[in-house]
């Protein structure tokens, strides 16, 4: 899940330990990818991946803002460098474009939403933009999709085996939908697990 660091700089450590070597310090306003929570010696830590690929841990008490992963459902939207129509345009996005949405701000009586696109560009879009919330792409979610697919695959194989056993040589039922659907889910989850940063 992408988050924006709020209020103060946050140190990223090489291990879930305040005495570990620091990887870097992430400044307020910067965006990082966070993953699972780890409890180490009474302190909660969160795995973090930086834009340049470096990974580490930050304390779970860091002040962050979750950025929701969304897809554009209207024909297009224009993003501006500042929350005003007179600001420079950073891009125009078409239906189906995926990006991350952050906080809502009001400028001159109009609501705007902060976004981060796939290239890492940050900007503001109209607060009334129609979007659809998407599930976060994490290794944990990928693992869950693979397990669900494996479950459907096993159910399909077992159902087919029972059909063969009770058919006594005649026609039997093949649970092809569960088998094929399970295989598709396994590969979908595997792809997400391999490509997700955390």
Q: 102 to each of 16, 65, 66, 142, 194, how far by Cα in Å?
A: 27, 7, 7, 24, 26
pLDDT at 12: 93
Confidence of residue 91 (pLDDT cuts 50, 70, 90): very high
Residue 192's DSSP bridge partners are: none
Q: Is the pLDDT of residue 3 over 90?
A: no
pLDDT over 90 at 118, yes or no: no
pLDDT of residue 164: 80
How many Å apart are CA 161 and CA 169, to the nearest integer? 13
**Cut 0.75: pTM above it:** no
pLDDT at 123 over 80: yes
Q: What is the pLDDT of residue 28?
A: 87
Average pLDDT of the chain to the nearest whole number: 88
The 10s digit of each residue's pLDDT in 157-175 is: 888 888 888 877 777 777 8
């Amino acid at each position: 899940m992408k988050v924006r660091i709020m209020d103060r700089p946050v140190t990223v450590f090489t291990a879930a330990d305040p005495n570990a070597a620091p990887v870097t310090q992430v400044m307020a306003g910067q965006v990082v990818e966070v993953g699972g929570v780890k409890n180490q010696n009474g302190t909660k830590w969160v795995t973090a991946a930086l834009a340049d690929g470096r990974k580490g841990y930050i304390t779970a008490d860091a002040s962050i803002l979750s950025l929701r992963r969304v897809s554009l459902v209207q024909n297009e939207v224009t993003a501006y460098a500042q929350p005003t129509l007179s600001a420079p345009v950073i891009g125009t996005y078409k239906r189906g474009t995926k990006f991350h949405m952050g906080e809502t701000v009001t400028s001159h009586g109009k609501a705007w939403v902060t976004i981060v696109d796939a290239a890492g560009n940050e900007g503001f879009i109209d607060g009334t933009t129609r979007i659809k919330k998407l599930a976060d792409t994490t290794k944990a979610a990928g693992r869950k999709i693979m397990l669900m697919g494996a479950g459907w695959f096993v159910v399909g194989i077992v159902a087919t085996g029972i059909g063969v056993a009770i058919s006594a040589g005649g026609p039997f039922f093949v649970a092809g939908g569960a088998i094929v659907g399970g295989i598709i889910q396994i590969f979908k989850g595997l792809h997400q697990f391999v490509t997700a940063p955390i």
